[in-house]
Amino acid sequence: MTSGERSATRQRRERMVQLLGAGDISVHDLAAEFDVSLSTVRRDLATLAALGRITRTYGGAVDHRAVERSRHDKERAQRGEKDAIARAAAGLVRSGDVVLLDAGTTVARLAHELRGRGDLTVVTNGLSTLVELADAEVEVVVLGGRLRRPNESLLGTRTEQALRRLTPDIAFLGVDGLDPRRGINCPDPEQAALKETMAGCARAAWVLADHSKLRGGGGFPYWAEMPAGTGLISGGTERELAAFSDGGWRVQPVRDGTGRPADGSAVHSS
């Protein structure tokens, strides 16, 4: 094997780990994704499993440790559903509101929907949101703090202190994973603390989560507990959304980008 072939193999395996971090995926799906044979995929998975990077399952694999994906990877996933979520969230924002926007690609989609709303003040710790609104009509307040990669958020003591002086009318939070009982799954303890503060300081809090974020809750070690009555906007299935509705969440199902009703469309807000 040449050095170029070895490099391509390493890159393919790293990308496999990222894809597996988003949920279960079959051997056939991986073969199609990388345009390689099933035997090549099985060799890759066997190597990754031997290194402790993943856990093999029948017909596929799941990641052994959750992998935090880059913003660019997240932007390419579930585009239609995220746009539908953003439109639904924008419909909840009233004239004159002070709106708190968390970091995250779905929240950045919401920022795009709000670009023409000169009647709002947006407070944010997300760089993607800041870029969306930099030349928009919206008044923007940026929360200071330490830049955290790869999700491009500002967090830390200064961010928490600034939030404690605010009472936003409505807050919208992004997630890597979500559980109806435990709340938002986070890769970082400071991030978990910040999300709790965001949800707690606002008059109303909504979590924006595409359906992939509802499956398995997440594999990171930290959790941000959400206040009772927190809202969820998602295109999850009826069964997935019912678990949140039964747990006291306000659930607003959305249609996906094709116009197809989401499986959760029969679930009503509690």
Region of poorest pLDDT, from 177-186, 225-234, 254-263? 254-263
- Determine the pLDDT at residue 3: 77
Counting beta carbons within 10 angstroms of the beta carbon of residue 149, is it exposed (0 to 12), middle (13 to 18) or buried (19 or more)?
exposed
- Determine the pLDDT at residue 4: 77
- Determine the pLDDT at residue 44: 87
Distance CA 185, CA 242 (A): 19
Q: Is 101 left (phi over 0), alpha (psi -120 to 50) or beta?
A: beta
- pLDDT (tens digit per residue) in 165-189: 999 999 999 998 999 999 999 888 9
Structure tokens at 266: 């029969």
Name the residue with higher pLDDT: 66 or 15: 15
DSSP-H helix ranges across 22-78: 27-34, 38-50, 71-76
- Determine the pLDDT at residue 260: 43
Structure tokens at 245: 């509705």
Enter the DSSP assignment of 182. T
What is the pTM assigned to this prediction? Answer: 0.72
Distance CA 109, CA 199 (A): 19
Distance CA 107, CA 210 (A): 11
Q: Kindly report the length of the chain.
A: 270
